[in-house]
Amino acid sequence: MNILIRANSSSYIGTGHIMRDLVLAKEFKNDNIFFATQDLQGNINSEIKEAEYRVEILKSSDFEELNSLIKKLNIDMIIIDNYDIDHNFEKRLKEQNPSLKIFVLDDIYEKHSCDILLNHNIYASEKKYKNLVPKGCELRCGAKYTLLRDEFRKIKNLPLTTHHSPLTILLAMGGADNKNLNIKILKILKKYRKNIKVNLVTTNANKNLEKLKEYCKNKEWINLQINSKNIAKLMRESNFAIITPSVTANEAYFLGLPMIAIKTAKNQKEMYKYLAKKGYFALKKFDKKELEKGINKTLGEIDGNYKV
């Protein structure tokens, strides 16, 4: 079977779509996998090539361009992980290619015209897709479908260290950190620096990477990791995480890592609501005072004798 994965990454969009699609692609080991993506600023198309998948560069999100590629490559199934493609677009693809199977990834309970829908987030509910997908659509929702890299599954059974010296915090505001929050959060954490270590995770998609490198320079309490292949290990070595309510929250949840979540994008709304409802410290947006409150609360829960 020829499978085409349509997704983008950039300094604005972030890297999460491509990263989870690379995990999904491994489920189709006996098929021919192609990625269709745009050459946007700060993209991680190199990660796709490194995984040895063929990359087709699109000039736009135009229907005709994608439809032509589907016909050219004799695609049997398209996996769509792109917010620019709506149910009308999907319906047109089906009309133009009657035998094409359409597999959609969705995070925000949108209407779709597809054969398979995957919402792999821990909050996902099949019931909420009633009247949003065609009859007969196969729904894959919730934690049992979460797309996790092998590193997380391998490390899952190792003992979870609860006491580190110093206490360790994972900071991950997304591969692109398009709200430029890393330095703001580090400035808050600075007053704890004698007692903590920060595992800071980012990527080359971060437009503010050079400023971040400069800020972290000569600060021994910050462990800056760029394009790390060991996120699971860094999580396992941390006492808690300050992250976005995104794919990273699925990973932290899987490992049982306490977390503070800061919403930075519209598509994080459902995860934010779920985490807040479940008792996690979740912020609708970055707020210095509220974050300080959350950090103090979390550190106190981890270590009752902890003092700033």
**Per residue, what are the HEC states of 59-102?**
CCCCHHHHHHHHHHCCCCEEEEECCCCCHHHHHHHHHHCCCCEE
Kindly tell me if the per-residue pLDDT of 165 is higher than 80. Answer: no
What is residue 163's predicted lDDT score, i.e. its pLDDT? 53
Taking only the tens place, the pLDDT of each residue in 141-150 is: 999 999 999 9
- Is there a contact between 251 and 235 (Cβ–Cβ < 8 Å)? yes
What is the chain's mean pLDDT, rounded? 94
What is residue 166's predicted lDDT score, i.e. its pLDDT? 82
Q: pTM here?
A: 0.91
- The question of whether 120 is a catalytic residue gets the answer no
Taking only the tens place, the pLDDT of each residue in 280-307 is: 999 999 999 999 999 999 988 887 665 5
- Backbone φ, ψ for residue 27 (5° rounding): -75, -10
* Distance, CA of 167 to CA of 225 (rounded, Å): 18
Taking only the tens place, the pLDDT of each residue in 102-111 is: 999 999 999 9
Q: Give, in degrees to the nearest 5, the angle at Cα 106 between 25 and 96.
A: 75
User: The sheet that has 32-38: what strands, in order across it?
Assistant: 54-58, 32-38, 2-7, 77-81, 101-105, 116-119, 138-141
- Is there a contact between 290 and 263 (Cβ–Cβ < 8 Å)? no
Taking only the tens place, the pLDDT of each residue in 210-249 is: 999 999 999 999 999 999 999 999 999 999 999 999 999 9
Taking only the tens place, the pLDDT of each residue in 127-140 is: 999 999 999 999 99
- Catalytic residue, chosen from 17, 87, 112, 163, is 17
